[in-house]
Amino acid sequence: MAVSEDEALELVGQVDAVHASVGRRVVVFDLKKAEPDRVEIVRAICRNGKLRAPALRTGRTLLVGFDEETYSRVFG
């Protein structure tokens, strides 16, 4: 199921942290400290107006894209 950019941003509003794999790097948004600029977060989590896959929410954390080290850190 495709999730639109607006739906993705609504999901971001429900979490405290977003870990987004962008190319070979991981961008982390700590939403408890500061709300990121809409353009900045859309670039990190969306591609062609849709939420990038895989996307997984666990508790108050959203993981977008796949990075083995990030998954290991989040899931122990």
pLDDT (tens digit, 9 = 90+) per residue, 27-65?
A: 999 999 988 888 899 999 998 889 999 999 999 999 999
Strand-strand pairing, 61-64 and 17-22: parallel
Strand-strand pairing, 50-51 and 61-64: unpaired
**Which domain range does residue 10 map to?**
5-75
Run of H or E including 39: helix 38-45
Predicted TM-score (pTM) of this structure: 0.90
- What pLDDT does residue 67 have? 95
Do residues 19 and 64 lie in contact, with contact meaning Cβ atoms separated by under 8 Å?
Answer: yes
Number of domains in the chain: 1
- What pLDDT does residue 49 have? 87
Say how far apart CA 68 and CA 38 lie, in whole Å.
26
- What pLDDT does residue 37 have? 87
Dihedral sign from CA coordinates of 42, 48, 51, 54: negative
28 token code pair:
């982390």
Q: State the pLDDT confidence band at 1, using cuts at 50, 70 and 90.
A: low
